[in-house]
Amino acid sequence: MGTVQVGTELGFCANTANVWQIAGYVLLVFKIIIPILLIIWGMLDLGKAVVAAKDDEIKKATKSLAFRALAGILIFFIPTIVSVIIGMISNFSESGAQEDYNVCRRCISNPSDGECDSYAQAAWNGEV
């Protein structure tokens, strides 16, 4: 395994690209599955309340569905919000670390990206 060259394209993120790529795939799955499940559960609760035909239960289920839909939307956008905040912070750091940061960001935000794949493959093989 090569030496870690901090602040360069072959820094910490390149050496651990395989971990960041796996984290990116997990985030992608959670970003899609959790909001869908929250909305489905809310719809099921609302359906039960409508079938029961009780106004109090319908109001409660409608409120629950609205909160679940909002939670689903927030969960979907959390990775984007975090990426924007980290991007803003990285602009204030030294420019040498920017290349290393770009490897991490690329692997988390787009794990199937060709460059991320090459870094991750090199990390798996111990070539970095």
Q: Which pLDDT belongs to residue 42? A: 83
Please check whether residue 16 is in contact with residue 4, taking contact to mean a CB–CB distance below 8 angstroms: no
Q: Is the pLDDT of residue 55 over 80?
A: yes
pLDDT bracket for residue 58 (50, 70, 90): confident
pLDDT band at 1 (very low <50, low <70, confident <90, very high): very low
- Residue 53 CA neighbour count, 13 Å, CB half: 0
Amino acid in the structure at residue 43: M
Q: Enumerate the domain spans of the chain.
A: 12-125
Cα 14 to Cα 122: distance, rounded to the nearest angstrom: 8
